[in-house]
Amino acid sequence: MEYSKQLTAHATPIPGLTLFDVPLHGDNRGWFKENWQRRRMTEIGLPDFGPVQNNISFSTAPGTTRGIHAEPWDKYISVATGSVFGAWVDLRQGSTFGTVFTAVVDPSIAVFVPRGVGNAFQSLEDNTAYTFLVNEHWSAEAKAQYSFLNLADETVAIDWPIPLDQAELSTKDRDHPRLADVMPMSPARLLVLGATGQLGRELKRQLANRPGIEFLGRDRFDLADPAAVGAVDWRQVGTVVNAAAYTAVDEADTTDGGRAAWAANAEGVARLASACAQHHVTLIHVSTDHVFDGTKDGAYTEADALCPANAYGTSKAAGDLAVGIVPKHYLLRASRVIGEGENFVRTTHSLAAQGERATVVADQFGRLTFTEDLVAAIVHLRNSGAPYGTYNVTNAGAPASWADVARRVYERSGRPASDVMETTTDAYAAGIRAAPRPLNSVLDLSKLEATGFTPRDQWEVLDAYLGVRAAEIDSLPSR
């Protein structure tokens, strides 16, 4: 064993499998080491994997051989006494399936083994204590999700220091399948909640052909139902995109609507966030400009204090705070979301197509957020390695009032802009039940753009969106 090593991380041919040199401090009494040091090790590349169980496998004599087992969780292995020959085989679905890495592990070495990588070892000394931390509790149900590979598989051809016919193996390990018969372990699933809403439909349109994604509507996962989170096997989930929410802004200001908004947007999101934090799941959560009251002079940044103007915004702000407890989270704040479903642009286009005039507020300013671009931002943040945290996500361009948007819709529909009459928020709400709205919904996009994502101009996308809507109307049968 070496006493002069510095804490160092070494990549291997298997993606995510990382070997660490661990400093040993020795004298005439023996040695000491910090076997797992969260802060220092995460700084040099160890995932912050959150171990919940510590196991020790003791071998009395050289030649004890165990594996090859791939579990549905991450683990961090090391040796307390003795030494082992470690062997790892990638049993995950993908191009690196079957890739092999081997190393001798003594107390000065540790290895991080990601989910789905097969792990095996052979003791090289008497009284070897092999230790490992895992980030899920073992259960019989979890063991049913293992993948196994035969230690003697000819394809991976591991060169065991002690030939297997001279080694000590269990009957089960001798009977594991060859590589050609191994079912690769699927990646951790991506769950999309709210799959039937405007954003959920666009997520499904863009992502449905990718493996390992499950789309859940309210009928299968109701945020307001306290039992929904407990019905998910979180060990199989890697990412959740929460596109579900209670969005009836005016109704949320009533007694019943307020309860429903709080149940879904606050309590439901808090339960979801707790589960994601506990199981190391990445949570991508979509929020709203309504968490601000709209009185700021200038665009809202991600650092601005929450100050909702209505009950809907209050429930969403509470959900935002809950999401903040999840170590791996992206919180996306959008405004004026436009996609497939009922929305302002679609309604206005229908009025224009029918030759009707419209009265629209002219003192609320912001930018449209098209679901196509919102999904693109979600994919970019998840796949680019962007820092976790809160991001404003809207389309780009000069802020506009709702009346400005309506005029553009009318003009692109072949109607005169003068068919749009302006009003104020107060005048529009007079005599009807309407929740307060933020007058300024402009969100600063600098933080998002710094990650390398540039949103498209809202007018460019609006024109394209209206082209699709016009084609839909033209295709309708005449009455």
pLDDT, tens only, 28-43: 899 999 999 999 999 9
Buried b (16+ CB within 10 A) or exposed e, 210-220: eeebebbbbee
Same domain as 228, residue 170: no
Same domain as 264, residue 300: yes
Residue 246 bears catalytic tag: no
Position 387 pLDDT exceeds 90: yes
Q: Are 111 and 78 in contact (CB under 8 A)?
A: yes
Same domain as 376, residue 465: yes
Q: Are 124 and 161 in contact (CB under 8 A)?
A: yes
- Catalytic pick among 130, 300, 312, 410: 312
Q: Distance between CA 35 and CA 107 in Å, rounded?
A: 8
**Tens digits of residue pLDDT in 6-23:** 999 999 999 999 999 999
Joined tokens for residue 74: 């991450």
Peptide bond into 68 cis (omega under 30): yes
Same domain as 130, residue 205: no
What's the whole-number mean pLDDT along residues 223-230? Answer: 96
Among 160, 181, 202, identify where a domain stops: 181
Q: Distance between CA 260 and CA 369 in Å, rounded?
A: 25
What dihedral angle (degrees, nearest 10) is formed by the CA atoms of 208, 213, 214, 216?
A: -70
Same domain as 140, residue 220: no
Residue 479 lies in a domain: no
Same domain as 149, residue 49: yes
**pTM of the predicted model as reported, rounded to 2 decimal places:** 0.86
At residue 220's C-alpha, the angle toward residues 216 and 226, to 5°, is 115
> Which string of DSSP letters, residue by residue, matches 83-103?
-EEEEEEE-BSSTTTT-EEEE
At residue 195's C-alpha, the angle toward residues 193 and 197, to 5°, is 115
Q: What is the CATH number of the domain that holds 133?
A: 2.60.120.10
Q: Distance between CA 207 and CA 378 in Å, rounded?
A: 11
Which H or E element spans position 391? strand 389-392
Predicted confidence band of residue 154 (pLDDT cuts 50, 70, 90): very high
Position 476 pLDDT exceeds 60: no
Same domain as 280, residue 156: no
Structural domain span for residue 137: 8-181
Same domain as 402, residue 337: yes
30 C-beta neighbours (distance < 10 Å), count: 8
